[in-house]
Structure formats: structure tokens, C-alpha cells
Chain A
Amino acid sequence: MPVTKRTGTRARRHTVVAPAPTLTPAEATAEAVDGLRLRHPELSASRVLDRNQALVILGIAVAGTLGFILAPVGTGIALSGCIAAVYLLVFVGNVGVFRRLIHTPHVVSVTDEEARAVPDDQLPVYTVMIAAYDEPEVIATTLRSLAALDYPAHLLDIKLLLEADDSATRSAVLAAHPAANVEVVLVPPSRPRTKPKALNFGLLRARGALITIYDAEDRPEPLQLRRAVLAFSRAAPEVACLQARLEYHNPHQNLLTSWFAIEYLSWFGFSLPAIAGGRTPVPLGGTSMHMRRSVLEKIGGWDPFNVTEDCDLGVRLYRMGYRTEFLNSTTYEEANSDPINWIKQRSRWYKGYAQTWLVHMRHPRRLWHELGGRGFCGFNMLVGATTLTALLNPVFWALTLTWFFAHPTFIQSIFPSWVYFPGLASMIAGNFLALYVDFIVIRTAGRPELMRAAVLAPLYWMLISVGALRAFLQLLISPFFWEKTTHGLDRPHAVEAEA
């Protein structure tokens, strides 16, 4: 359903909600950590598996082991058949997304003139939260980017969420002389030490009717908040969240940042808007998502135990009847330029996706009821299958290569032609589509210079699989550990001015 601009509508005045009753730091910490867990235990990732899920997994493991002992070939065929079916379904889903993607993406558009034309007295108080931990190098830049936001200073409620024991960042903030509307909020140290917990802590003190979050190294487009206000005032009441487009400012630093940039162009510029238009929950980006505070409070804030709280929040919003739309405004981020650092970040994402999938699949029937058939399939494809296929891809690449060069009989025996041909077809067509989408994306985004990276994308997919493998191991060992991503690795001369 395309969003039509209702021109002439004036921005609705947002009510400024009174600040939350003052809580002691201990109470606030308890609320930030356990709020969701106590109120909606079934939606919290504080437990990785619930009992039924554990029983199902155990059952499958036992049946699989017995199967391999008693009837190895039959079990192998069943396994390869199931996996081939997953790949085929993912491919069919991707074709659906592709068809939407090459047509006009589903993005809410607010022009510069419209954004500037909203009178200041009709703007609501806007809370901007930045969770920073151990980022003394970038914090001064952060404050500069925030100062560049085109929004009345007295209506801007900036919360800088720092860990209380992170003195380096704290002194860097003080040294940068923050403006009067920047409130430094110290989050008392407690477990789990995650960004969503800090955000929940900040949410308790937020004054704005609208809330957004940025990462420390972000450079939001200056008119973004004004655009969001206008877009919210025009949007249907169930639209609770507007996600701005995320792009990287350093795509040319090295091959890795080029790949990463293509991935983000594709994800936030095309795929997610296409998916959002298809009545499917979308994972949000970790930053530049704009929300109505009332909704955020109603759905219980962020899940401090989920390491991709953004993805979880997107799904939770949709389950509770709200929708996410995409806004035509860009925030520039720093693409991770170091492979090790990148793999750490990626494995956190996949770990979080797996957590999110497990949380929401605790009661599949209820999820189906809440999301509808299409949303349910979309969720499984986007959150479940993305992680699973990233994990399985290298296995199948290896099997295919082995088959081509050695023709071992065990492969032939577990891949009868009714598994082999659909599997082979979806592998070839799926990989083709993945590559092809990248080319279309860089073409449409007007970035033909990224072509070389797009050609080499299969190498990037291997890197992704390494991240997925690491995520899988971590999920078993330390599910809540937040792998910190180091920022500030972009060389200053590689920085491009945003358009």
C-alpha cells in the first residue's frame, strides 16, 4: 500500500508527557533490567529457550542421532530434503521481495521545504538518546553532529547515556563542552551490560513525545527530526516507528567497507522498505529509528537481554499491532573497516537474530495469530532463515565442490534427484539473485564505483558465514555477552562529506 502524501495537513501538536516519577538509581536499574522480563516474561530473551523449545530440540537431537545410527541414508535424505525445502522457500520469498524491490520502494517522503515549513511552536519535545560506552575518541564528533540538527534547542532533549564507570568517555564529554540541552545520564554498572539496558534507563528520564536513538559515530541528516514529526502527523495511528535510511560515510576505505556499504544500501534503501510494504514485521536498524514514546513505553521498551534489541523491537511492535515505515532521510554511519572487528559485530547480530527468533517462536500458533500467515512466513524467512542459511551456506558450497570434483557416493546417496535438482536450482538461482540485487541497488543508488565490490560479493558472503558460525558457538556459551564494536577506525581523509 503506497503512502500518499496528504499535502496541506499541518503538523499535529504532540503532547509533552510529564517526566516519569523520579526513581532512585537502584529502582531505575531494576526497571531497566527487569521491566520487560517481569511484565512479559514470554517476550524476554533472558531465557534462551523455554521448556517446550528445549524439549523439541532435545527430541530432534535424539531422533537424529538414533536415525543416523539405525538408518543413516534415510536420515541423511530426510535432513537434506528439509534443508533443500528451506532454501527453496527462502528463494521463493526472495523473489517476492525482489519483485517489490525493483518497483518503487515503499518510503515515506517529506521534502526539505515541507520539513522546514513546520512552525517551531508546533514541534513536540524530541528526545534523542545516544548510548556510548568506551568511545572517548568519537564523542566530540557526536556532539557536533547533534548540534547540527535543525530543531529548536529548547525542544531537543538529548540524553547521553554513559556507563557510570566509563570515566574516559565522561571526561571526553566534559572536555567537549556539551550544550545546555545535553543531559549526561550515568547508567549504574549492572548485568547485563548492554545498549538496550542503557536505553531503557534513558527512557525512564525521557521527556519527549517522540524518541530517537543514535550511535555515537552517527551523522544524521540535519532535517531528520523535522521530517519525522511531519511524517508521524500524516501517518496512520498504528504507525509507531519511522526508520531512517542508514548509509556509510566511508564506503571507499577498503573492500570490506565497500561490501558493507552495498549491504546497507540494499537493506535499508530497498529490501526493508519492500518487506515493510508486504505486511511483514521488519527488523529495525539499531539507530535512527523514530518512535512515539507512548508506544515504546506501552510495549515495554527494549529487551536488555537481546543483543539485537532493534530487531526484536521491530517484531514486538508488529505483534502488538503497530507498523513501521521508512523515512526518506539518511543517517551516515561508520562502516566497520577491520575484518576481526567486523566479524565480532556480525556474530553479535546473528546471535541476536537467533535469540529473537527463539523468543518469538515460543508459541508459534500465537505468533501466527498475531502476525497473520504472511507476517509469520516473513518473520521466519527474515529472522530465522537468514541466520540458518548463513550458517549452512558454507556446508553446501563445500558439498557442491566436493561433488563436482570427486563424486563421492555418500553425497549421491543422500541427495536423490528429487532433492538434488530443486536444491541445485535454488542454490544457483538464489546466488544469482543475491548478486543481481546488489548490482541493481548500486545502480539505483547511483554508486557505480562500487561495482568491483559487488562482483566480489561472494567473498563477503563467506565472511558473513564465519560471523554466523561464531554467533552459533557464542549462543551456546555466552548468550547475553554484548560484543563491543570499536568505532573511529575510519581514517579522517577517507571521510566524505554527506550529500
Chain B
Amino acid sequence: MKVDIKMPKLGESITEGTIVKWLKKPGDHVKKDESLLEISTDKVDSEIPSPHEGVLVEILKEENETVEVDAVIARMEKDGKADVRKEEAAEPEEESKAEETSKAREESQPADAETKEEKSAIEQNGDGEVVDVLMPKLGESITEGTIVKWLKKPGDQVKKDESLLEISTDKVDSEIPSPYEGVVVEILKNENETVDVDTVIARIQVGKKAGAVAPKKEKPTDSESGNGRPEKEKKPGKTETAQAPSKTEKPGDGKKFFSPLVLNIARKEGVSVEELEQISGSGLDGRVTKKDMLKYVQNKKQGIAPKATPKPSAEVAAQWKDKQVEIIPMDAVRKKIAKHMQESKATSPHVYGVAECDFTHIMEIVKSNKAEFEKKEGFKLTFNPFILYAVTKALMDFPGANASLEGDNIVQKHFINLGIAVATERGLIVPVLKNAEEKNFRGLARSAYDLAMRARNKQLAVEDVQGSTFTITNYGVFGNIIGFPIINQPNVAILGVGAIKKRPVVIETEQGDTIGIRSQAFLTLSYDHRIVDGELGDKTLQRVVHYLHNITEDIL
């Protein structure tokens, strides 16, 4: 019977041994406990006695080889007369195991080789290395971002700094330029997915000649359905209409945090993630607490409809089935605008004052300085900076309108950060012109132009949309003359600017009244009556008009 001779473990910490010398060679007859070989380990050198009497058949590890403890180093044929114990009966099985292992090893080798070939093919492509594209951190406090749209798909060539995708973070949307030139190999995160900063979202094979390697996995990116196109293409199946939230929903993906307990209750009570998102929380930073959750569930059971709980989209789709509608799911920006507007109306009792303003004089200043200004500044002179100028001066006179309400305190600000509402493709955005009180007319004009451009090009940083103390919205650009804007929280006032139109106006002069053609506009001030009374609100608006009427060319 053939038996294996193994490398013994010559100490607790010993994991391997070196064969110093074989004292027997194949074919030699060996007695039990007669020395077979000499080994050397980290701790001791030792002669190894044969565990059996028999003939040494095979030496598997040569002198000077270092092998692991328990590795088979030789085989011997036991003498028939030698004692046979239980464990030896089990040895044939062990032997066959050993064979299997060695077969497995052989089989696995070609696969290894392939991988190597693949690797070297990439290496031969010069700089054909595949690199990760990470979700960038677009601001100090930003920890995650939502992928709005992929501008490239797997297989596409991309140049360095060419836009790869659009992302949306808490306040800023941005196009992300590719950090490398190469071919998009893989897209790992789909549109509408929200992922942590530094998550790998795509892979690019770097190099001009890239493309030798086919894109790996073409993950379905949902680009067809999630790319802003109508939902109608998706036919809601029965399972989707079920009330219970589906398993694929990941509550953690939303912006809101839900504790394990809240999620647990939601699962047990069949509260969907959409519902969860709508429950107003009484905990820290509006967190939904256990109590809120239990109250919600109880109300639901008693049939008290929770306020403004939107229906799950599947349900909406089912309701409008076969009707001529287009169901458009709100994107992150839309949801945020909706929430902010609703909150503002719920927070501030709005009062409105409307004033008429004569822009004729300003239009003349613009007209006569247009060419020179554009030449010098690189952008057109409009009447906008005049409004910014007048508002800033008025707010310096009436800081009560440049304030916020925090708890039971009115916080009056001695710096003026003007929020300027800008319409973009995907909705409203309000970049902030900081420290207007420190800027002259041209400074204001330049800052406003810069912010507007960056807003349209999705290049705003988080800091650019934070910290406004007063906001200006200009709906006049669309031709409307009067509006009633909603206050941008936590401001307490917002100025709305209507379209400047030429109108016949009674002009009072010392020589008597005449009717003249003047460029007129209506300005609206919406203010928060909690802390801004009519007197302050109206005086502030009149002061804006006053400064606009009295602007002279020398401010340029």
C-alpha cells in the first residue's frame, strides 16, 4: 500500500520547512523510525524518522526545496507485514483527493494564461489602461450626487475635458468633463441613481488607440426610459400596481435618512418609499421619528388621508390608463423647487406692494453707453445692474427687509447677498451675488453676468447658490407686467420686475402737466408680514424706485 510522507510541523509557529538532505533514495528499504531525511526550519533542524517500514517509492520534493507543512514530500510502499491502522484505510481517499487537486490546478492554468494575454494586449496598446471615473465632490459639504444624464455610452470615444455626463447635487447641476481621453468601457451607475462621492460610476480605457478591447458589460443604463422621456412607453404591469413597496426600492437612495426602525415599520405596514418621503418629520432636521411613523400608520388605518401624499407613479399610470396623457416623473430639481415653494408659502404670510417706475432715463443711459460698455466689459449693458444697484442702496437704508427670522429672533444682515432668479432648461435656479454692498455699479454688472453665464453652463459651485439675503426675479423678460413672486426662504422679501413698456404718462412740470411717452415698468415687492410690516415694505419698494429715478450716468 502506498502512503504519503508529509512535511511535519516542528513547532507551533512553523509553517514550512526546507529539505536539507535525503538520507534515502527511491528503491531503498526503510525501517520504522529510521531517518528518512534532514529538514531545517526557522527554529530547529531535525532528522525525520520514517513513520512506516517499507520501500521509498518516490521523492517529490528535492533537496533545498522549501515546502509548506503537511505538503506531501515523498511516497512509500508499506511492507505487507506492517501494522494497518484505521487512518491508513482512509488514505486511498486522501490520495484521490490529492489527484483531484492537482487536476484542478492544471485546468485552472489555461484560464490564468488567458487573463495574462488579455492583460498584455492592453499593455501593448500603449496607454490602454482601464481607469475609473468617480463621482466628483462638487462642494465642501457635498457627499453625493445624482446622475442626470449620460452624454456618452459604452464604446464612445471621449476626449479629455469633453462632457461625459450631467449630474445634480443638492443645489448645483453640472456637466462633468472626462478626466481622460479614451473609450468609455463601462457605465456602472444609471441615470437617476444617487451615489456617494468617490463612487466609481464608469470606466474609461485610456489612450488614443483605445477601443481595441470591446466594452465589457453593456449594462442596460435605463437611458431609454429614464432620460426625461415620457413614462408612457413603460406599460405598467400588475405587480407594479401592488401597494406594497417593491423589493428593489432602496429607501437609502433618497436624500432623506430613515432609521432602521422606521423602515422596519414601513415594511410591516406596507408604507411605500414615496409615502415615507412625504411624511413630515418631527425629529432633528425633520427626520421621521418612530412616533411620526406610528401616527402616520394609525391615521392611515383610520382613513385620515395624509396631507399631499402623492400617489405612487404606478397607481397614477393605472388611473390614466388609455387616456391621452403624458406622465412625467419629477426629477430631483423639480421636487426640490416644489418643496421649497410649498414651504415658503406655508412659512411666510405674503404681502404684496406694487410700484410704477420710469425707466426712460435709464434706457437712455444704456443706449448712449452700450457700445463703449460692451467693448470694455465684453458683455452687453442691460438695465439689470441698475436694479441691483438701486436695490442694494435701498436695503442699506432699510435693513429690516434684508433679514431673516430665526426662532424668535429677527436677524438683520449688514451684508447684502442678492439672489438672482435665473430660468434654465430644467427649471429655476437662484445664484447669489455676494456682498453687493461692497460693489460699485460695474462690479455688480460683472458679477451678475458671470453668475448668469455659469448658471446656464451648469458651472455653478455650491457656494454660488447659498446665502442669499434678498432675491430679485425678473419675469418681465417674458413680457408680463405684474407678478406676485414667492419669497425665497429664508429671505423675508423678494422684488419682482415686470416688463418695461412704453406708455403714455402724465408728466407734471412747473410749466404744467403734459402727456409724454415713457418707458414704464411695475415693480412688486413680496414681503413676509411676520417681520415686515406694510410701512417698512412699502417704504423699501419706494426707495428702490427713488434710486432708479435718480440714477445718473456717472455711476458708470
- The judgment on whether A and B are partners is no
